[in-house]
Amino acid sequence: MEQALKVLSLENELIDHLAVFESAQKFYEQRFNPSHLSDEEATGRSILEFQFSHIRKYGNPASKEVLESRFVDLSFLPPSSEVGWLIDQFRERYARAETEVAIESIARRIYKDSPEDVIDDISNELYRIRESIRERKTEMSSADYRPALEHYWETEESDSVTYGFREVDDVLKGLKKGELVYVIGRPKRYKSWMLMKSMVEAQKAGAKAVFFTLEMDIPEMFQRYACMASGISWSAFKNKELIPMDMDKMMDRLDKANTNSEVSIIKPPRGQRSVHSLKQIAKEHGADIVYIDQLKFVESIVKVKAELRFREIEYINEDLKDACSDFPIYLAAQFNREAANLAEMADLSKIGLSDSIGQTADVILGLHQTEDMRKSRVLQLGVIEARSYRAAKWELIVELSQNSNFRVTGAV
């Protein structure tokens, strides 16, 4: 007898997941709100509320057998989706619907109420929606001290991913799960290359990396990766000055690089660049580290007017910090125009888009290069802000015309 094809719907997937112990526990731990389900999904809401009540009363979700005896008209099948993806889908759908209603309601007041009141109400309403879909962490009490502290002490530095420079790793101890890290610089100051340098060195160490190129096209970003991973001159490659022996060397070295691990360079289309979407793509690729180039092209699921873009960036940064629980995230952003002619590296006040970068990130690295430094192929990389690490600054030599590399020549 042919097996009927399963129709994928959010409610069906929810019902099936709620019969899986780990999934039901995940919904509860995330403080998933049953109000995020539509009126047409009343069955799913009933089972969800039953499981939440069971967890509160007995400490664990009800088994599949208990659910089948309680909801006799339902069949619980193995889910075909990942539970984190499903939670994100419900939250994103809810956020879009609520935002549309809020904007329509406030739009009717634009010509009746004062602009200040309307703007305040927009911000407050979007904040309410944003808070209602925020990913919630499990709680930890003082009684959890032993496993929490033992886990920290047992965590090896080898579990971290390299910044690409031994000298930087010595200070910052590598990129670690739970950390949100920025590299900030003016345009054309090697931000993308800094991410690429980390990815190439991480691949050598066996880490699986996902690189989201939201600005440049995939072919050019992949060409940069190929040159850096193989130690071939970027300038000679772009000018098509490589001889056959150079191309053979490049292919051979890329073969060897791919025996260590696989990296993926991805450019999601516009409309699919929310943190939730990027996180799901990275998880599907089994990422150990995620790179995002760059922040201004990441999309918020809560949409606001262009002049309130800083609000979106706040929401995005909060989402990024939540997503770091699965892997470290290293991304690029820009200093504003005021930093263009500074003789020294800019500080937090010169970061563009939003103050939330300084408030949310665990580590912020800055890139500084005057025109004279550029002519001498010298670049400065420094710690602008870090929660748990000391300030430091390094001088780099740019070797793109030699072997597509950056080399630390010393501390500044």
Residues 127 and 184 in one domain: no
Instruction: Output the CA angle 191-195-200, nearest 5 degrees.
Output: 140
As a whole number of angstroms, the distance between CA 43 and CA 49 comes to 10
Q: How much of the chain, in percent, has pLDDT values that exceed 90?
A: 57
Residue 230 falls inside a structural domain: yes
Residue 151 falls inside a structural domain: no
Give residue 373's identity as a one-letter amino acid code.
Answer: M
Residue 142 falls inside a structural domain: no
As a whole number of angstroms, the distance between CA 116 and CA 24 comes to 44
Residues 63 and 205 in one domain: no
- Model confidence at 245: pLDDT above 90: yes
Q: Do 200 and 229 contact (CB within 8 A), yes or no?
A: yes
> Per mean pLDDT, which range of 49-58, 77-86, 109-118, 223-232 is the poorest?
109-118
Residues 349 and 246 in one domain: yes
Give me the number of domains the chain comprises: 2
- Model confidence at 368: pLDDT above 80: yes
Which residues, 6+ apart, have CB-to-CB distance to 249 below 8 Å? 230, 232
Give residue-wise pLDDT tens across range 132-149: 776 655 566 677 677 778
pLDDT of residue 157: 60
Q: Do 316 and 331 contact (CB within 8 A), yes or no?
A: no
The better pLDDT of the pair 216, 5 is held by 216
Q: Do 43 and 74 contact (CB within 8 A), yes or no?
A: yes
Residue 65 falls inside a structural domain: yes
Residues 164 and 45 in one domain: no
For position 164, which CATH number holds? 3.40.50.300
- Model confidence at 69: pLDDT above 90: yes
> Per mean pLDDT, which range of 91-100, 189-198, 301-310, 369-378 is the poorest?
301-310
Mean pLDDT of 5-28: 85
Residues 77 and 214 in one domain: no
pLDDT of residue 113: 82
Residues 215 and 322 in one domain: yes
Residues 109 and 235 in one domain: no
As a whole number of angstroms, the distance between CA 323 and CA 320 comes to 5
Mean pLDDT of 74-81: 90
- Model confidence at 1: pLDDT above 70: no
Mean pLDDT of 50-76: 91
Residues 316 and 398 in one domain: yes
Residues 113 and 229 in one domain: no
Mean pLDDT of 305-315: 79
pLDDT of residue 6: 45
Q: How many CA atoms lie within 13 A of 274 on its CB side?
A: 20
Residue 392 falls inside a structural domain: yes
Residues 125 and 217 in one domain: no
Residues 125 and 162 in one domain: no
Backbone angles phi, psi at 83, to 5 degrees: -60, -35
pLDDT of residue 104: 85
As a whole number of angstroms, the distance between CA 14 and CA 19 comes to 9
- Model confidence at 2: pLDDT above 50: no
pLDDT of residue 3: 40
For position 88, which CATH number holds? 1.10.860
Residues 386 and 273 in one domain: yes
Last residue of a domain, one of 97, 132, 167: 132
pLDDT of residue 4: 42
Residue 109 falls inside a structural domain: yes
Last residue of a domain, one of 132, 148, 177: 132
Map the chain to HEC letters: CCCCCCCCCHHHHHHHHCCCHHHHHHHHHCCCCHHHCCHHHHHHHHHHHHHHHHHHHHCCCCCHHHHHHHCCCCCCCCCCCCHHHHHHHHHHHHHHHHHHHHHHHHHCCCCCCCHHHHHHHHHHHHHHHHHHCCCCCCCCCHHHHHHHHHHHHHCCHHHCECCCCHHHHHHHCCECCCCEEEEEECCCCCHHHHHHHHHHHHHHCCCCEEEEECCCCHHHHHHHHHHHHHCCCHHHHHCCCCCHHHHHHHHHHHHHHHHHCCEEEECCCCCCCEHHHHHHHHHHCCCCEEEEECHHHCECCCCCCHHHHHHHHHHHHHHHHHHCCCCCEEEEEEECHHHCCCCCCCCHHHECCCCHHHHHCCEEEEEECCHHHHHCCEEEEEEEEECCCCCCEEEEEECCCCCCCEEEEEEC
Q: How confident is the model at residue 315 (pLDDT cuts 50, 70, 90)?
A: confident
As a whole number of angstroms, the distance between CA 366 and CA 191 comes to 9
Last residue of a domain, one of 98, 132, 166: 132
Give residue-wise pLDDT tens across range 197-220: 999 999 999 999 999 999 999 999
pLDDT of residue 372: 93
Q: Do 87 and 26 contact (CB within 8 A), yes or no?
A: yes
User: Is the pTM higher than 0.75?
Assistant: no
- Residue 323: domain span: 157-411
Both structure tokens of 223: 């060409």
Based on C-alpha coordinates, what's the Rg of the chain? 24
- Model confidence at 292: pLDDT above 70: yes
What's the chain's average pLDDT?
A: 88
How far is residue 361 CA from its own chain's centroid? 12
Give residue-wise pLDDT tens across range 253-284: 999 998 889 999 999 998 889 898 899 899 88
The better pLDDT of the pair 102, 332 is held by 332
Residue 279 falls inside a structural domain: yes
Residue 148 falls inside a structural domain: no
Instruction: Output the CA angle 251-285-318, nearest 5 degrees.
Output: 120
